[in-house]
Amino acid sequence: MIRLIVDSTFGISKKYATDNNIEVVRLKMILGDEVFEEGFEDTWADFYEKMKVSKKFPTTSQPSPQDFINAINKIYSEDPDAEILILTISNALSGTINSATIAANSFEGKRIVAHDSRQAATCGRMLTEEVVEHIKAGISFDDLLALLPKIESSLAIQFVPDSMDALKRGGRIGTLGATLANILKIKPLFKFADGKLTIQKKVLGLTKAITDAITLLPKKLKKLYICYIYDKVNVPKIAEKLKQILGLKNVEEVGLEPVFGVHVGIGAIGLASLAEY
């Protein structure tokens, strides 16, 4: 049987993990003297509330190889013959894949593959959902590994930060550019796909940024989520634009996990999409 291990940045729910026998290995956030495990969504609010009022910039920490070894051992205690696929956040954002690879290589004679998903946030969740569906349909381990790049190349997340402060402090954008954007109310439309962060457009105002994000979506969508980082105040705007432009109603809203929130900032909104593949 194929079993999955994902890291906590994939943002899957506790129920989904339990229902599909998925092990979740947690990243950590450090804020001052406090260390928070990312965990599942029902634990995120405490960290976000403290992040909102803290004058210190939070950082993140990847899991250790032992964290993955523990997850692997748990699976083998339940199914000694399991074939295990470990999916991790993009190596461009975290070294989590390195810990996963060390763990996988420590088990001789077992079929364990540690795989850099090249994804971030909700795209990791969407990848997991696709993989689970293929497993339920009876795909072989080798065929699943061959299919992964095709699914991954069909995923992308576009997002508009509420301010540029977190991206500036994290070194993702220059100080001058961040300051000017904040002062002039310029809204860069970012895209993360295939392990790369790019700026698709720079526009004046949130409404224009949302409109552009929607018009840049793939023509043939298989799945779409509205994303937000803790604060949902602008989610209705993006929902209304989806209805106006694409005729889409009741698009699911997904809160983004704290590791992504640390680097992008509270209040960001966006769209995670999976194109037909």
Tens of pLDDT along 120-136? Answer: 999 999 999 999 999 99
Please give the model's pTM, rounded to 2 decimal places: 0.90
The stretch 23-47 carries a mean pLDDT of 93
Q: Are 83 and 111 in contact (CB under 8 A)?
A: yes
Share of the chain above pLDDT 70, in %: 92
Q: What is the pLDDT of residues 190-244, one digit of tens each?
A: 999 988 888 888 887 889 999 999 999 999 999 999 999 999 999 999 999 999 9
Helix (H) or strand (E) holding 101: helix 96-105
pLDDT averaged over the chain?
90
**pLDDT band at residue 1 under the 50/70/90 scheme:** very high
Identify the burial level of 244 via C-beta atoms within 10 angstroms of its C-beta, where 0-12 means exposed, 13-18 middle and 19 or more buried: exposed
